[in-house]
Each structure stands twice: as structure tokens, then as C-alpha cells.
Amino acid sequence: MAINTKVKADHNAPGVTEMLAKFAIEHPSKGWSDSVDQEAHRTFANWAGCAIGPSTHETMVAALGAVMELAPAGQASILGRKEKVDIANAALLNGISSHTFDFDDTHLKTIIHPAGPVAPAVLALGQHLNISGRELIDAMVIGIEVSCRVGNAIYPDHYDRGWHITGSTGMLGAAAACSRLMKLTPAQTQMALGVAASQPTGLREQFGTMTKPFHPGAAAKVGLMAALFGKHGFTSSRRALEAPRGLMQVFSDKTDWSEITENLGSSWEIALNTYKPFACGIVIHPSIDGCVQLREKYNLKASDIAKVTLKVHSLVLELTGKKTPVTGLESKFSVYHSCAVGLLYGRAGEHEYTDECVNRPEVLALRSKVEAIVDDSIAEASADLVINTTDGRELHIFIKNAVGSVEVPLTEVQLKAKFIDQSEPIIGAQKAASSWELSREIGNCAHLGDFIAAATF
Amino acid sequence: MAINTKVKADHNAPGVTEMLAKFAIEHPSKGWSDSVDQEAHRTFANWAGCAIGPSTHETMVAALGAVMELAPAGQASILGRKEKVDIANAALLNGISSHTFDFDDTHLKTIIHPAGPVAPAVLALGQHLNISGRELIDAMVIGIEVSCRVGNAIYPDHYDRGWHITGSTGMLGAAAACSRLMKLTPAQTQMALGVAASQPTGLREQFGTMTKPFHPGAAAKVGLMAALFGKHGFTSSRRALEAPRGLMQVFSDKTDWSEITENLGSSWEIALNTYKPFACGIVIHPSIDGCVQLREKYNLKASDIAKVTLKVHSLVLELTGKKTPVTGLESKFSVYHSCAVGLLYGRAGEHEYTDECVNRPEVLALRSKVEAIVDDSIAEASADLVINTTDGRELHIFIKNAVGSVEVPLTEVQLKAKFIDQSEPIIGAQKAASSWELSREIGNCAHLGDFIAAATF
């Protein structure tokens, strides 16, 4: 029988729903530093490349097939493709695409992928409303702030329970961003946040299936629709986030309201955003980075390697402990496979996570030599790696922060290379170069048309 | 800081996702008794009346306004209206409408409103696919079975946490029903259930706002879309419901798998369905019934009443304890208002829950004389009522089961009267009579066209 484990309700929570709604509408355009604005542009450009790359993937073919059964109006574009669909389903599809390769941006404090639910909602609605690039960046910064602050308030308990926090907070960011784009009042935006609060998306159980990338897409669609409902006078609880039976207390025991109320409008979560160099879960990155560095330093070949011993935080194996992945998708959740390709090829891009690669004999052989040991004295962002060579050497490296972290950010050259690597096979070299330039400078564009034309057919 | 209250994960849960998918597809047409089939018809007819009644309500005007921004294709009808929209949004809108007056059917074991998320999904997709009435009833019985069995397995813990269980289980029933209508394979249906599992809708915090009726509508839309995703080859966890990080363990501590696995296909939850005589939360019904009965027995006038003392289970006040409701919608969550109108007018239909009625001086005067006392020795389905009259009498009644319960079901005459009362002001007497007859016999109709024509413009 049931025992309600929610020991006590917090009846005195501050009015964060109202506070976030007011913030979303009233914070001034570019009301942050140049460096924050630069990070917002990096976020958008990285996101766009990640959405273009998988646009012909079977995940997208299946999702588009389902959406097309609705005979949607051609209101907004799908990056990397020629079809147009209604704004809600464009938000869904671009959101799915951008997380399909698990290659999008990460807010490391919460493991939220911030752009995934927010950017596609803003892009779809923005195209339809013919907004400026400046409005797009403003709305995206605001939306990401809302999602990540809610995430900060409930992480890690919420995530530990099994929620995929990207989808279960992202609808709030998308609702805030879309409310701003449509110039709703704070009161309407508060209602929009409430409608969105009733619709969290995402279970960690789905990791390794197409439904994982579905989560940010669904959150984008929910948020966009919630803003439309708010615009048309739909009502919801004024305390939908913070009430004892509001979203946050219902799906998390930890509810640290100060994470939302403190420095709202003066500190910016998007400034902490990071971009993956490897096309897999972020917790594997320190291990891959160590493999790539040892390979380069000692010019290692597969035949040199007798044994690989990895010491990592328990979360790493909890999330990515698949020992014998069979599909490309499963291999993204395998630290064993990831170390093998890092050692063999010196990289772990999308080409290293295909169905073919995961079953390649040389990968299988090296994978079986990787042992992972849990050591919670090692931080989640770190990894300790020892390689025993066939000639008896013991090679050691400790990675405190992996490449792509806040501490060791991707350079502009690396970010561009990542964009081009993903987009060129889909839209060709010229469009890839052009859509990189336009996305990287989107805040200066009077409208979104040139970027969308470059990034679609 | 966070403490994960989920003490231990159940890794050995039976494969209920697979089991429900197989059941949804393979159980034979009308594979149940005549009395179950009759209850299914009562369920559909009652649901249809409840969807027609509020079709011009401000809740529907707002929702339709939001949906129309998508310029949807005219694939399916909205009951009581002339507009057509795409099947996903028709499911949403009919689902919202049917719960707007809080007058729809109730599965008392779980307080699920079973038809709300399932019937609109089946109706919208069924109209588009041109199915028979028999197929509609079959899919609805199956869908409701899926939602209510999942509900039985997690109630009451899940509900106690603050989830609105109608929306947070309903998407599974809608997905199962729509998968059956499209003749998906069990494997595709298992994926559809998985996609739906990632998208529970509904917080109890929204009670008293438009977002409460939004919940079944959203669940209908989510389920229908999930079935389309399943059809097109989208993948999800094969254990999306039962895995340690699947839906049921994530959002409930109670997970009694036997509620799903036992007698599946031989006992039927729809047989337990009930239909409200009063347009408000079911937990108030025994109190209103008591008021109406005392009023009739003693021919009471408002001026006769000095004091009303109600003893009820704590849940009644938890759900409907609003002492001073200001709007019609809020008054549905006020046992005080409900008793006042029951005593004054001998009924508590939609006309007794308007903004005008809630502020009527005679209602306010009598409402202030109602006192409610928590007594958990009284069952949730019961109420004990004492009226002290101005001439010194003490009148007592104990209601064990209210009219409209399983034990005291609405008669056929009462059910028809409820349908006509709701639909006639919207679609006129002739269409109301015709749509009652057609919905009540829908299983014998070769197609849904005649019913839909009668129930729309």
C-alpha cells in the first residue's frame, strides 16, 4: 500500500511563477554583458548545426511521417529539410533533430540541454512572426534562464527520481520565450507557464531510444502551445510552479527557491553553457578526452594496448554503463565503446556511433579490454585513466575537466568545425558555410529569413 | 539538499508495457459481456453530452483560439461546433470540452475520469479513418481498461503526490485505443505506449482553473500522437511503464503490478463507471444528495435553515474546501456553495455553478450557514448531514452512497435528461434528441457520420 513519501509540503514558497513571468516579459533586450551575448550566439549556432546534422536520420523520418498525418499548414521550416509544417510541429521536429545525435549543448550543473526545448520553439514562432535576430537571441536567453533556474532548484533529486530534466523543465523556458516573442503581458505569461507546468516530458528510462530526443522537441511544442493558450486568455494556477501541489513540489523533494529568486536578471545560466566535442553523453567526455590524449602523446596503436582501467564517478556507469551495445544509439550510452573509439580513431563524432562502427571487430576487441571502476572520490566531470601496454608500460592520465567544459571551452575554430562537419553532408558546403556565419551573427540580422534559407532547402 | 525518497527500485516488475500492448491489439471485438457493452455505450453517450454542453464556454473559446493559430487542417469535428481541425487538436478540444463542467464520468476507485482522454482521441481518429461504431466502442473499452488498470496500480500514492490522475494515466489509454484503431502490431503499440509514457499531464494544483479540463484533452492528444509515432517506427523503451526509471516507479511509490496483470481481458473497469448527476467534483455528491433529500422530505425553504453541519472524510475538504468561491469554476470546488444550492434549488447542475449564481445574495447567505467537519470514520463516498432549523428542529440524514454511484446508478431516464439538458441549448432540440439516440446505439452504426452530423453544425 501507498505511503506518501513527501514528508511535508512547503506552503510558504515564494511566488516564482509570477516572478519568472514578469522577468520574461520585462527584462530589457540585451540586458546582459557582451560576453553573455556572445555565449548566446555560440549556443544558437551550435544548436543549429546539431539540428541540421540528423535531419535525415531515421528518427526524423519516423517523426516527420507521424506529423505529416495531420496535414499541417506550412508555417515554419525544418532545418536541413525542404518540408514546412505548422509552428508547433516545427518546434517539435527541430527539437527532436537537435538532440538525436546527443551532440547539443549542456548546462553541466544540471545536465540540462538548454537550447533543445527553447531554440526550436523560438525559431518556429519567430519565423512565423517575422521577428528580428535580436528578438530571437533575447527570447532564447530568457527562456534558457527560466528552464535552468528551475533545474538548479530541483537538481539532483528530480533527476535522481528518473526524470529527463531537459524535457521536464524545458517547456517552461519555451513558454517564457514564446510569451516574450508574442509580447504577452506578465499575467498572460504567468498563465502560459502554468499551462506548461502541467506537461513535463521525459523519463531517463528512454535513454538509448528515439524517445530521448523526442523529449526536448515535445517540451518545445508544449511551451509554444502554452504561450498561445496564455495569449488567448486560458487560465491556470498562479502558483503552478511553487504551490504544494504545483509542479516543483510534486516532482522533486528538493525545491531550493533561492536558485530562482537570487540574482534573477543579473546572473545568467547561458554563460555556463558548454558544447560537446564528442557525440555522446557528457559524463563520458573526460574518459574519451583521456583516451585521445594518451593515444596522441604515446602514438598508441590498438595492438599496443593490453588493458584500459578507468576510474570514474558512479554516475558515469549509471548513465553510460552499457557493456555490450549493439546499435549506434546504444553505443552512446557505453563508456566502454566510447573509450575504444577514442583510442582507435582519436575522435568520437557521429561516425563513431553508427550501427556499423559499434559492431566493427577492432572496436569490439578493444572494447573488451576496457574496465571501469567506480570511485566516488573522483568528480563527475573528471576521469582517471591507466593504460597497460603489451610491452609492459603503465600510462596514466588524470582529466580534471574535459575539452568542451566551462574550464576548457571549445575554441571558435572547433565550434565551427563541429558545425560544418554536421551540416555539410546534409546541405552542402556553401549552405553550411553560410548558415554558420548567419547563425553566429544572428543577433545582427533584421529577420531570420536568410539564415533559414541557408539552413534548409 | 536532495534526499531521494524512492527507497528501492523494483527491478523485477513484470512486463506490463508489452502485456498491455498485446491486449490492446489482440483482444477480440466485443470480447466482453452484454452488460459491459451497455456500460460502454452509456459511457460514450454521457461523454458526448458532456462535450457538447460546454462547447461555447469561454474555456473552449480560448482553447480554440490558440489551436486556430496553427491553421489546422479540417480533419475532424469539434462536438457542438462548426469548426473542424486536425485530428490531434480535435482530440485536445473535445477532451477539454468534456471536462469543462466537471460533469463527465468517474471511475470511483481512482477518481479517474475515464472517457475524457480516450473517447475524444478515438472519435477524432475514427472520424478521419471512417471506422464503424463497433470499432469505436471496442477501442474505447480497451483504452479505458489500460488507463484505469495503470491507475489502480498507482492509486492513491500517485494522486496524493499531487498528480491529476485522469491526465497522467489517460495518455496510455488513448495511445492503446488509437493503436488498435490503426491496426498497429503489438510491437508498434508497445512503442506507442512508451512514447506516451514520457508525457504525463496534470497537476491537482490546477483545480479551479481552465487547465484542469485541459488535462484530459492534452492526454487524448498525446496518446493519439504517440500512436502515430508508433505507426511510423519511432522507438521507445520496451519497459517504459514498469522499469525502475519507467513512468510508474518514477511518479508513484505504490506500484501494484497485479492490478494490471490479473484478469486482464476478463474483468472490465468500464463496468464500474459512473455518471454524475451534479456538475461538480464527485466527492461533494453525497453532501448535495443529502441536502436535496432533506429539502424534499421536509419541504425546506432557506428561511427555515439556521445551521447546516456536515461530517465528511478529510479528502472532501482537501479537494473541495473553498469557503468563499468567487467564480463559477471555483464554486465547483466548494462543498459549502454546493450544499447551499442543493438546499435552495434541489439541484446542482451547470446553472448552479455560474459566476452569477455563486455571488447571488440568497446563495451567499445560506453558504455562510454551512459548517463542514472532518471525520475520517466516514467513507469518502458518504456524508453525514444535520440541519438545525430556525424553529428548533434537528434534521439528520446519512448518505452511504450518493445518486450516480455504482450502487445507486443513474437511470436511463436520468442519463438522457442529463444529455438533453446539456446539449439542447447548444445544438437545439432536434439535434440533441438525435445525437442522444445515435450515441446511445453507436455500436450498431456502420460509421460515425450520422452521430457527428447530429452533434455538430
Q: Does A332 touch chain B (CB under 8 A)?
A: no
- 8 Å CB contact between A279 and A352: yes
Nearest-CA distance B404 → chain A (Å): 28
- Chain B positions in Cβ-Cβ contact with residue A225 (cut-off 8 Å): 66
Q: Taking CA atoms, what residue in A is nearest to B224?
A: A66
Average pLDDT over residues A71-90: 98
**Cell output for B302:** 432557506
Q: Does B13 touch chain A (CB under 8 A)?
A: no
Question: CB distance A203–B1 less than 8 Å?
Answer: no
Q: Does B211 touch chain A (CB under 8 A)?
A: yes
Q: What is the pLDDT of residues A229-239, one digit of tens each?
A: 999 999 999 99
Q: How far is CA B298 from CA A427, B295, B312, B365, B387, in A?
A: 81, 6, 22, 20, 11
Look up residue A333 and give its amino acid: F
DSSP B281: -
**Has the ipTM of the complex gone over 0.90?**
yes
B211 domain-assigned: yes
Domain boundary residue, one of B252, B274, B296: B274
Confidence (pLDDT) at A329: 86
A44 domain-assigned: yes
Q: Are B196 and B64 part of one and the same domain?
A: yes
B443 domain-assigned: no
Q: Does B244 touch chain A (CB under 8 A)?
A: yes
DSSP B409: P
**Cell output for A151:** 533545474
A323 domain-assigned: yes
Confidence (pLDDT) at B1: 27
Look up residue B277 and give its amino acid: P
Structural domains of chain A, count: 2
Rounded Cα gap, residues B188 and B235, in angstroms: 8
Closest CA to B456 of B425, B431, B433: B431
Q: Are B364 and B312 part of one and the same domain?
A: yes
Question: CB distance B232–A194 less than 8 Å?
Answer: no
CA torsion angle for A314, A316, A320, A324 (degrees, to 10)?
-60
Q: Are B158 and B141 part of one and the same domain?
A: yes
By CB atoms closer than 10 A (0-12, 13-18, 19+), residue B71 is: middle
A1 domain-assigned: no
**Cell output for A388:** 597497460
Q: How far is CA A79 from CA A218, A238, A304, B235, B413, in A?
A: 17, 36, 43, 22, 57
Which CATH number fits the domain that encloses residue B149? 1.10.4100.10
Rounded Cα gap, residues B373 and B354, in angstroms: 26
Confidence (pLDDT) at A204: 96
Q: Are B75 and B115 part of one and the same domain?
A: yes
Nearest-CA distance B1 → chain A (Å): 6
Using pLDDT thresholds of 50, 70 and 90, give the confidence band for residue A413.
Answer: very high
| Mean of the per-residue pLDDT values of chain B | 96
Confidence (pLDDT) at A1: 27
B154 domain-assigned: yes
Neighbour tally for B8: CB within 10 Å: 7
Q: What is the pLDDT of residues A299-316, one digit of tens each?
A: 999 999 999 999 999 999
Q: Are B227 and B294 part of one and the same domain?
A: no
Rounded to whole angstroms, the maximal C-alpha distance in chain A is: 73
Q: Are B266 and B287 part of one and the same domain?
A: no
% of chain B residues with pLDDT over 70:
98
- Cell 556572445 identifies what position? A38
- Chain B positions in Cβ-Cβ contact with residue A198 (cut-off 8 Å): 164, 167, 201-203, 206, 211, 214-215, 218
Which CATH number fits the domain that encloses residue A314? 3.30.1330.120
Test mutation, A179, A235, A241, A247, chain B, max B CBs within 10 A: A235
Q: What is the pLDDT of residues A39-64, one digit of tens each?
A: 999 999 999 999 999 999 999 999 99
A52 domain-assigned: yes
Q: Are A85 and A156 part of one and the same domain?
A: yes
Rounded Cα gap, residues B434 and B437, in angstroms: 5
Question: CB distance B63–A251 less than 8 Å?
Answer: no
A368 domain-assigned: yes
Q: What is the pLDDT of residues B427-457, one digit of tens each?
A: 999 999 999 999 999 999 999 999 999 999 9
Q: What is the pLDDT of residues B193-246, one digit of tens each?
A: 999 999 999 999 999 899 999 999 999 999 999 999 999 999 999 999 999 999
Question: Nearest by CB to B235, which of A70, A162, A209?
Answer: A209
Domain boundary residue, one of B367, B399, B431: B399
Q: How far is CA A277 from CA A46, A108, A295, A415, in A?
A: 11, 14, 17, 8
Q: How far is CA B330 from CA A188, A417, B184, B338, in A?
A: 19, 57, 42, 11
Q: Are B119 and B231 part of one and the same domain?
A: yes
Average pLDDT over residues A9-17: 95
Rounded Cα gap, residues A25 and A184, in angstroms: 7
Confidence (pLDDT) at B292: 95
Q: What is the pLDDT of residues B386-411, one digit of tens each?
A: 999 999 999 999 999 999 999 999 99
DSSP A278: S
Confidence (pLDDT) at A351: 86
Question: CB distance B246–A211 less than 8 Å?
Answer: no
Confidence (pLDDT) at B329: 86
Q: Does A355 touch chain B (CB under 8 A)?
A: no
Rounded Cα gap, residues A24 and A67, in angstroms: 30
- β strands within B303-457, DSSP E: 305-312, 370-374, 383-389, 394-399
Give just the sign of the alpha carbon dihedral B372, B374, B378, B380. Answer: positive
Domain boundary residue, one of A373, A399, A425: A399
Q: Are B319 and B209 part of one and the same domain?
A: no
Q: What is the pLDDT of residues B331-362, one digit of tens each?
A: 999 999 999 999 999 999 888 999 999 999 99
Q: Are A238 and A346 part of one and the same domain?
A: no
Reported pTM: 0.92
Interface of B with A in 21-80 (CB under 8 A): 58-59, 61-63, 65-67, 69-73, 75
Q: What is the pLDDT of residues B30-78, one digit of tens each?
A: 999 999 999 999 999 999 999 999 999 999 999 999 999 999 999 999 9
- Domain hosting B94: range is 16-274
Confidence (pLDDT) at A68: 98
The yes-or-no verdict on residue A5 having pLDDT over 50 is no
Confidence (pLDDT) at A23: 98
Rounded Cα gap, residues A187 and A179, in angstroms: 10
The yes-or-no verdict on residue A8 having pLDDT over 80 is no
- 8 Å CB contact between B456 and B439: no
Q: Are A46 and A187 part of one and the same domain?
A: yes
- 8 Å CB contact between B51 and B80: yes
Q: Are A170 and A258 part of one and the same domain?
A: yes
The yes-or-no verdict on residue A4 having pLDDT over 50 is no
The yes-or-no verdict on residue B81 having pLDDT over 60 is yes
